[in-house]
Amino acid sequence: MMVAINGMILTGAIFFILQYFVNEILQEDSAQIIGRAEKVITTSKKDIDVILTSLSSMVALSDQERFDETITNTPIKKYISFLNGGDIPFSNLYILQSDSASENLVDVYESQKIENKFNKSILIDIFVKNRDKIRASGYFNALINNHDFIFFQKMPAANGYIVAVIPIQNSSIFSDLKEIQQIESIKVNEKNSGEMIYGWTKENLKEATYKNTVSRDVSFGEYVLNVSVVYDRTTQSVLLQAIPLAFLFLGLIITAIATGFIVNSKQGGKKLTRMNVELEKKNLELGREIGERERLNHVLRKAERENKAIINAISDVIFEISLSGEILFLNDSWQKLTGQDVEKSMGQNLFDRIHPKDREDQKKAVSQLIKGLRSGYRINTSIESLDGKYRAVEMAISMIRMDENRNMRVVGSFSDMEDRQKAEWALDAAEKKYRTIWENSASGIYQATSDGQLLSANPAMAHIFGFENAEYMLREVKNAHTELYVSPNERLRIIKNIDVKGNQEIFEFQS
């Protein structure tokens, strides 16, 4: 607020100071123009006075005869003719003889260029009404009908006066005002009556944007004339007058900008303070989040170590490959299975390690799995080890997952089949050997539950008890304790006391 108020006060002060100086300059211009107009009028009046004084000096009247000679004097007529062709043309020129008894008005000159006919008695009436003033000063001028000036000039050493009639519109008394530069129109009024006695407007006058009017009272003999001039201001004066407004506008803009800048700065400071407070809060929250994140990272790293330990403890190989078969993950069992370091195997193509006879089929199967045309599967194949030999494995493709970068991964495993096959072969050999002994033994061999249900019996056992074969015996005998032995109770008693820890004992029963 203080910046806005001080800015407006300073701008207003500069505006009024500039306005004052500009007005002074413009008033001086106006004064110069009206001064030139006044000079034209006063100069014209002085010229008229000089001419009339010259004429009155040339004409000296003492009697009628000499008067007649005077008005017919060739030099005077030439002088009058010269005046008529000059800047102050006369429409009429008279010599007025006056004594105590009468006034006599004699024509001296009448212009052929200017038509101005009026009653001479008007001149005599004006003289009679102002006789005392005219005789006292020897000079007098009058205005007739607002369009003619009458001038009385006393002739020296004579009871007579030169009387000149000058039409206003046809005289340079006012017409020279037209020559003043910048003037667009002129009005001359008689101040007391307010009647306009002269007016002029420039031909083809266009509407000017920048005009000014100035007036001044000018003394003209017995009269006071009010001269009003309309003039067109110069470009320099127009620009000069626009300077205060330009400074006012510029000052208000600068004040508004400065005020806005300070307001924005203040608001920005408040906003910055609020932001700092919020930033402190965010920093505290961020600190807590970082602490929580560190804790979670620690838990995650621990979980990763545990998961990795678990995964690496699995005897089967766990792998992840891209859709094209590039190896992305392997557990430590890979090295046990193939003999190749896990890190060196990363980035290799898994299908290149599968036996050539199964390679294309596996590529096709994985492609169908990716496209959703088949589900997870298991297949027996061989994988190349570090020494170039192929090892029998069971490959299982279990799932497709998406990683943190939204890339698809194929997850699967390899199970070592060679140790299992060896165990299966040993078991198969043992079973064959046992079955040979079981079927070819001369002694009866059987298995029964504690409640007497037969589970198995060899052919010799069936033959001993009189059955056609072992299968028939298993169907017919419901309780071996009671059906096959003479003393079932003694047998049951002994069976109940048999050492369950597996210590072998021999018992005899009669069947």
pLDDT in tens, 171-227: 567 777 777 877 888 888 888 888 888 888 877 665 555 678 888 898 888 888 898
Structural domain span for residue 374: 314-421
Q: Residue 264 region, left (φ>0) first, then alpha (ψ -120 to 50), else beta?
A: alpha
Residue 311 CA to residue 378 CA, distance in Å, equals 20
**Letter for the amino acid at 452?**
G
Helices 2-58 and 235-313 pack at an angle, to 10 degrees, of: 160
Residue 338, in any domain of the structure: yes
DSSP 462-510: HHHTT-SSHHHHHHH-S-HHHHS-S-HHHHHHHHHTS-TT---------
In the Cβ-directed half-sphere of 119, how many Cα atoms lie within 13 Å? 6
pLDDT at position 36 is 85
DSSP 268-286: HHHHHHHHHHHHHHHHHHH
Residue 209, in any domain of the structure: yes
Taking residue 111's Cβ as centre, other Cβ atoms within 10 Å add up to 18
Residue 355 CA to residue 383 CA, distance in Å, equals 6
> Are both 497 and 416 inside the same structural domain?
no
Residue 284, in any domain of the structure: no
Q: Residue 25 in 3-state DSSP?
A: helix
Residue 248 CA to residue 181 CA, distance in Å, equals 32
Of 185, 201, 232, the residue at which a domain comes to its end is 232
154-165: burial string, b at 16+ Cβ within 10 Å, e else: bbeebebbbbbb
**DSSP category for residue 349:** B
pLDDT at position 158 is 63
pLDDT at position 86 is 56
Rounded to an integer, what is the distance from CA 399 to the centroid of its chain? 54
> Are both 393 and 510 inside the same structural domain?
no
> Are both 409 and 476 inside the same structural domain?
no
pLDDT in tens, 262-286: 888 887 778 888 888 888 888 888 8
Q: Residue 460 in 3-state DSSP?
A: helix
**Cβ(321)–Cβ(350) below 8 Å:** yes
Residue 150 CA to residue 87 CA, distance in Å, equals 17
> Are both 71 and 203 inside the same structural domain?
yes
Low-confidence ranges of the chain (pLDDT < 70): 59-89, 100-101, 111-118, 157-158, 169-172, 204-210, 499-504
pLDDT at position 237 is 72
Nearest Cα residue to 181 out of 225, 233, 109, 119: 233
> Are both 447 and 378 inside the same structural domain?
no
Q: What is the CA radius of gyration of the chain?
A: 73
Question: Largest alpha-carbon pair distance within the chain?
Answer: 218
pLDDT at position 96 is 82
Q: Residue 309 in 3-state DSSP?
A: helix
Q: Residue 452 region, left (φ>0) first, then alpha (ψ -120 to 50), else beta?
A: left
Residue 251, in any domain of the structure: no
> Are both 404 and 465 inside the same structural domain?
no
For residue 468, what are its two tokens?
């056609």
Q: In this structure, what CATH number is given to the domain that contains residue 374?
A: 3.30.450.20
> Are both 71 and 18 inside the same structural domain?
yes
For residue 370, what are its two tokens?
């990716």
Contacts of 501 (CB under 8 A, 6+ apart): none
Of 355, 387, 421, the residue at which a domain comes to its end is 421
Q: Residue 406 region, left (φ>0) first, then alpha (ψ -120 to 50), else beta?
A: left
> Are both 395 and 509 inside the same structural domain?
no
Residue 149, in any domain of the structure: yes
pLDDT at position 501 is 58
Of 388, 421, 454, the residue at which a domain comes to its end is 421
> Are both 115 and 150 inside the same structural domain?
yes
Residue 39, in any domain of the structure: yes
Q: Residue 62 in 3-state DSSP?
A: coil
Residue 171 CA to residue 198 CA, distance in Å, equals 11
DSSP 239-266: HHHHHHHHHHHHHHHHHHHHHHHHHHHH
> Are both 198 and 71 inside the same structural domain?
yes
> Are both 51 and 190 inside the same structural domain?
yes
Residue 309, in any domain of the structure: no
**What does the chain come to in residues?**
511
Structural domains in the chain (count): 3
> Are both 158 and 43 inside the same structural domain?
yes
Residue 91, in any domain of the structure: yes
